[in-house]
Amino acid sequence: MMDRYPLWLTAFIYLCILVFLTFVLLPFFEMFMASLRPLEHLFRSPYQFWSDDFSFRAYVQMWDTVPLLGRYILNSVYIAGMVTGITMIFVIPAAYAYARLEFPFKNLSLGIFLGVNMFTGAVLLIPLYRVLQTLGLLNTYWAMIVPGIAFLIPTGIWLLRSYLEKIPRELEEAAFVDGASRLYTLRRVVLPLAVPGLIVVGTAIFIGAYAQQFLFAITFNQQRELQPLPAGLFEFVGYQSVTWNEMMAAALTGVLPVMLIFLFLQKYLVAGLTAGAVKE
């Protein structure tokens, strides 16, 4: 398709892509360069981009500066994984109901779900705190898992519903003629066809759960051993100084699980995102 475009238009498209990637990747590149610089190098004036004293020393020293750093990374992965798994349990039947069933206030409730996504977690911190305190969940993993599930369920329903609507109804009707129940049809007919969409939605929920941990962690949890990585990074802040190079190294190390998941599921994500884009 690209060779049908004029040369100038093709060049313009690639230029726009280059500018977009530059804005997205430049902060990560600067984080990586800061992690290689000695601490005194970061405060040189005027700013010096390149130096001969680059090293990976910060990636070794960060484990001594914050001994629980590995625990924090595992906590982040565990919390995001639990949020993703439990959210998908609720999202799959709800999205199927919105895609296939007719019931009162269907569109209104979908609008309410969309409205919930417009609220940030900070707006509901006080009522969430009271609810978690009443349930005895403060200072536990569940204090960070439950709010994450609540905020990501609407997003998951909207994304998966759109994908399920693309699956032909005739396949389900054929199963109904053979005497299959709706639950059996969902499990044996719909879900196998929706695997690319499930992977896309699950990955989006995991990334969202991984990114929103900081606010819930510093509000609902005071146990150091249960802190996720975003809250644990504060331990690089000392009374008189901040080891910025080690903090950048730890932040990049903490991003690796999400990057590995994305790279491993990349082909499935592309298949899910492009499903239904071409009319056969």
Domain boundaries, the chain: 66-274
Q: Rounded to an integer, what distance in angstroms lies between the CA atom of residue 161 and that of residue 194?
A: 11
DSSP per residue, 110-155: HHHHHHHHTS-GGGGHHHHHHHHHHHT-TTSTHHHHHHHHHHHHHH
Q: What is the mean pLDDT of residues 174-188?
A: 84
The answer to whether 48 and 36 have CB atoms below 8 angstroms apart is no
Report which of 153, 86, 129, 133 is spatially closest to residue 216, judged by C-alpha positions. Answer: 129
Whether 88 and 208 have beta carbons less than 8 Å apart is answered as no
Angle at 93 between CA 176 and CA 280, to 5 degrees: 65
The string of pLDDT tens digits covering residues 110-151 is 888 777 777 767 778 888 899 999 999 999 999 999 999 988
Is the CB of residue 90 less than 8 Å from the CB of residue 134?
no
Q: Are the C-beta atoms of residues 129 and 143 closer than 8 Å to each other? A: no
What value, to the nearest 5°, has the Cα angle with vertex 57 and ends 64 and 229? 50
User: Taking residues 254-258, what's their average pLDDT?
Assistant: 85
Q: Which runs of consecutive H residues, i.e. helices, occur in the chain?
A: 7-36, 57-65, 69-100, 106-117, 125-135, 142-164, 169-177, 182-185, 191-193, 195-211, 213-220, 229-232, 244-264, 266-274
Give the burial class of 197: count Cβ atoms within 10 A of its Cβ; 0-12 exposed, 13-18 middle, 19 or more buried.
buried
Sequence-distant (6+) residues with CB within 8 A of 200 are 159, 163, 268, 269, 272, 273
Q: What percent of the chain has pLDDT over 90?
A: 29
The verdict on domain 66-274 having CATH code 3.40.190.10 is no
Give the pLDDT band of residue 1 (cuts 50, 70, 90): very low
> What's the CA gap between 190 and 176, in Å, rounded?
13
The token duo for 174 is 């054929």
Q: What is the mean pLDDT of residues 151-173?
A: 87
pLDDT band for position 274 (cuts 50, 70, 90): low
pTM for the structure as a whole: 0.84
Helix 7-36 vs helix 57-65: crossing angle, to nearest 10 = 50
Task: Give me the long-range contacts of 132-137 (CB less than 8 A, separation at least 24).
Answer: 132/220, 137/220
Among the listed residues 34, 91, 41, 12, the one whose alpha carbon sits nearest the alpha carbon of residue 251: 34
Q: pLDDT (tens digit, 9 = 90+) per residue, 43-92?
A: 777 777 777 778 899 999 999 989 999 999 999 999 999 999 999 999 99
